[in-house]
């Protein structure tokens, strides 16, 4: 299990989100937190960055 640390900027912007979006964000954060390896949840970017 991973520990999630929220920055002041995140909390300020999060509070401005619609309730439905906050639920989606909460779900994604919980998925990352409970994951054995959160890197596997992402998508590797290709091409010029």
d(C-alpha 39, C-alpha 37), whole Å? 5
- pLDDT, position 39: 84
d(C-alpha 33, C-alpha 28), whole Å? 9
Q: pLDDT tens across 1-49, in order?
A: 788 999 999 999 999 999 999 999 999 999 989 988 888 888 888 888 7
CB 21 within 8 A of CB 29: no
- pLDDT, position 11: 97
- pLDDT, position 23: 98
d(C-alpha 4, C-alpha 29), whole Å? 8
- Distance (Å) of CA 29 to CA 7, 9, 45, 47: 14, 16, 20, 27
């Amino acid at each position: 299990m991973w520990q999630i640390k929220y920055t002041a900027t995140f909390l300020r912007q999060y509070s401005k989100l619609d309730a439905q979006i906050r639920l989606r964000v909460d779900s994604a954060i919980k998925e990352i937190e409970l994951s054995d390896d959160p890197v596997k949840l992402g998508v590797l970017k290709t091409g010029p960055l």
